[in-house]
Amino acid sequence: MIIYELAVKGRINKAQNISTTDTLNDIPQKLRRKKRAYLPEVSELQAVRHYTQLSQKNFSIDTHFYPLGSCTMKYNPRACNSLAMLPGFLARHPQSDDSLGQGFLACMHELQDMLKEVTGMQAVSLAPMAGAQGEFAGIAMIRAYHDARNDTARNEILIPDAAHGTNPATAVMCGYRVKEIATDKNGDVDFDALKAAVGPQTAGLMLTNPSTLGVFERRIKEIAALVHAAGGLLYYDGANLNAILGKVRPGDMGFDVIHMNLHKTFSTPHGGGGPGSGPVGVNERLLPYLPIPVVGKKGDTYRIFDEHDIPQTMGRLSAFAGNAGILLRAYIYARMLGKEGMVRIAEYSTLNANYLMKMLEQAGFELAFSNRRATHEFIVTLKKQAKELNVTTLDFAKRLLDLGYHAPTTYFPLLVPECLLIEPTETETKDVLDAFVAAMTTIKKEAEQNPDKVTQAPETMPVRRLDEVRAAKQLDLRWPAKENNA
């Protein structure tokens, strides 16, 4: 049922309905809406029941193991939510005087400091609202840097072919051309290809390390030296920071600018698609271009820095201060981890990934890079199953749903055929990993003996496999506009 199907014309929620004697007489008729907007007219109970029922149709961390590679689906502590939603935080207008926000600003300032420390960068801005916006801020800063030096011939950003789609999309939004760099057979950047590509036209290189292939880029120092020598800068896509937190820092690897995905590494909720938060960190080179606002401190007082304080800023990215409430959640999480807890995240997410990789290998699954350590994630390829049994990664993914597991990331990165990118995270138990291996093994057997079971999956979900072609061809993007039933 769609909420509109529950609606009846004239139904009103009186408890939410302000009684007012005010009129709109002073608003010219031609600016007044003629016909009421078609919104559902349902009771509060109907709405509560409908959305509660809908929620139950979701898999989520709170209900299922969710080993979605590159997404870091770890436990989102409930305390982060309830404390970030204290009335004092919710009620703060973003443009209220700093004197009315010292509590909030203290958290933000401390968060900036903690993120500086874990990334090894000189300064952090919390402004970007997700990873992709962090990337934008980063590449725009690189551009501002070159522009400030009148080094305007650099029109190219180098990006490994394993990179996330946001990387090339971002480079283009910043007015750059994208040059793809191949990956070698061990999952590292093809160093020769990189060497050949670097040149005076190179504005910078975007790199994810550990990469989206689930391996650590071992020649990172050489890569950094190469790019820097050519006058380019290095951008670090921090989506995989979880794997190395407290072990090794992007700043120390030689990166000039980095974004973090707080909704991954710092466990803020994914919310069915967002909001996230993508703070950027920079070294000295890019300090003058940091996006605003940034929280500063004078004596004991916190203050919001704007274009007056950072005149060369690459600019503003949001109407106010980014996803403040998400930043609060990340702050709370970071304080609960502390210095001791942060490094353990890297350790135990890596332990879980390597264990799961080993167990799946033992169960007969083919690894994309069997001679490499897993980082916090790793890749299984089902190309054999696809070829020999005609059972694809998509089929495996759907069948996993039936067995009570959210599927890993499928078909990404693009260069590994029929791949599953598996990221268990540090918050899952060994028992869960073992059970997941058992489920994968079951499906493997089914694929061999009873392939229909897999190719027809799922069978236990609210719907069976959906017709995506139809969805794109016969566009149905909204409930037809009409009136609520009488």
Partner 1 sequence: MPFIPHTDYEVKEMLNAIGADNIEELFDEIPAELKISELKNIPSQLTEMEISRLMHERANQDNTPICFAGGGAYDHHIPAAVWEIATRGEFYSAYTPYQAEASQGSLQVIYEYQSMIANLTSLDASNASLYDGASALAEATLMAVRANRKSKSKRILVPRTVNPVYRKVTHTLVKNQGIKLEELNFDLQQGLIDMASLPAEPGDITAVVIPLPNYFGVLENVDELTDWAHKHGALVIAVVNPISLSILTPPGEWGEKGADIACGEGQPLGIPMSSGGPYFGFLTCKQALVRQMPGRIVGRTLDLDGKPGFTLTLQAREQHIRRSKATSNICTNQGLMVTAATIYMAIMGPDGLEKTAIASHGNNKKMLEKLTSKKSITRTFNQSFFHESVINIAADNASVLKKLAANNIVGGINLKSDYPELGDAILVCATEKRTVKEIDFFTEQLATAIAS
Picked from ligand PLP, partner 1, a second copy, none, the partner binding residue 229 (CB below 5 to 8 A depending on kind) is none
Of 84, 108, 111, 130, the one binding ligand PLP (CB under 6 A) is 130
Q: Which stretch binds partner 1 (CB under 8 A): 192-200, 227-235, 440-448, 459-467?
A: 459-467
Q: Give the list of residues 6+ apart from residue 138 with CB closer than 8 angstroms, or none.
A: 235, 257, 258, 259, 280
Kindly report whether the peptide bond that precedes residue 458 is cis, defined as omega within 30 degrees of 0.
Answer: yes
Q: Within 54-73, which residues bind ligand PLP (CB under 6 A)?
A: 70-71
Of 69, 109, 114, 360, the one binding partner 1 (CB under 8 A) is 114
If one asks whether residue 131 binds ligand PLP (CB under 6 A), the answer comes out as yes
How many Cα neighbours within 13 Å face the side chain of 422?
Answer: 37
- Find out whether 126 and 277 touch, Cβ atoms under 8 Å: yes
Residue ranges in contact with a second copy by CB under 8 A:
6, 8, 11, 14-15, 43-46, 48-49, 52-53, 56, 61-64, 75, 77-79, 86-87, 336, 341, 427-429, 431
Report the SS3 class of residue 197. Answer: helix
Q: How many angstroms separate the CA atoms of 296 and 306, rounded?
A: 10
Residue with the two structure tokens 């803020």: 268
Residue 87 or 311: the one with the smaller Cβ distance to partner 1 is: 87
Token pair belonging to 172: 């283009």
Of 142, 189, 203, 215, the one binding partner 1 (CB under 8 A) is 215
Q: Which stretch binds partner 1 (CB under 8 A): 190-198, 372-380, 383-391, 443-451?
A: 372-380
How many Cα neighbours within 13 Å face the side chain of 252?
Answer: 10
Of 76, 183, 242, 261, the one binding ligand PLP (CB under 6 A) is 261
Q: Within 277-316, which residues bind ligand PLP (CB under 6 A)?
A: 278
- Find out whether 353 and 422 touch, Cβ atoms under 8 Å: yes
Q: Quote the strand ranges of 67-199, DSSP E.
A: 123-125, 156-160, 177-181
Residue 70 or 385: the one with the smaller Cβ distance to ligand PLP is: 70
- Find out whether 324 and 316 touch, Cβ atoms under 8 Å: no
Name the DSSP class of 3: G
Picked from partner 1, a second copy, ligand PLP, none, the partner binding residue 257 (CB below 5 to 8 A depending on kind) is none
If one asks whether residue 242 binds ligand PLP (CB under 6 A), the answer comes out as no
- Find out whether 146 and 154 touch, Cβ atoms under 8 Å: yes
φ, ψ of residue 437 to 5 degrees: the values are: -60, -40
- Find out whether 190 and 183 touch, Cβ atoms under 8 Å: yes
Q: Within 143-182, which residues bind ligand PLP (CB under 6 A)?
A: 164, 166
* Max intra-chain CA distance, the chain: 76
Picked from ligand PLP, partner 1, a second copy, none, the partner binding residue 323 (CB below 5 to 8 A depending on kind) is partner 1
Of 80, 162, 233, 239, the one binding ligand PLP (CB under 6 A) is 239
If one asks whether residue 202 binds ligand PLP (CB under 6 A), the answer comes out as no
If one asks whether residue 338 binds partner 1 (CB under 8 A), the answer comes out as yes
Residue 23 or 52: the one with the smaller Cβ distance to a second copy is: 52
Of 185, 229, 273, 449, the one binding partner 1 (CB under 8 A) is 273
Residue 39 or 153: the one with the smaller Cβ distance to partner 1 is: 39
Site string for partner 1, 32-71 (x = CB under 8 A): xxx-xxxxxxxxxxxxx-xxx-xxxxxxxxxxx-x-x--x
Residue 449 or 478: the one with the smaller Cβ distance to partner 1 is: 478
Q: Which stretch binds ligand PLP (CB under 6 A): 30-38, 124-132, 296-304, 336-344?
A: 124-132
Residue 41 or 237: the one with the smaller Cβ distance to ligand PLP is: 237
φ, ψ of residue 396 to 5 degrees: the values are: -55, -45
- Find out whether 135 and 170 touch, Cβ atoms under 8 Å: yes
- Find out whether 213 and 187 touch, Cβ atoms under 8 Å: yes
Does the CA dihedral 355-359-362-364 come out positive or negative?
negative
Q: Within 171-190, which residues bind partner 1 (CB under 8 A)?
A: 171-175, 178
Q: How many angstroms separate the CA atoms of 242 and 425, rounded?
A: 9
- Find out whether 260 and 278 touch, Cβ atoms under 8 Å: yes
Of 188, 217, 237, 423, the one binding ligand PLP (CB under 6 A) is 237
If one asks whether residue 149 binds partner 1 (CB under 8 A), the answer comes out as no
Q: Which stretch binds ligand PLP (CB under 6 A): 1-9, 130-138, 378-386, 459-467?
A: 130-138
If one asks whether residue 206 binds ligand PLP (CB under 6 A), the answer comes out as no
Q: Give the list of residues 6+ apart from residue 95 with CB closer than 8 angstroms, or none.
A: 320
Enumerate the β-bridge partners of residue 278: none
Of 257, 345, 368, 386, the one binding partner 1 (CB under 8 A) is 345
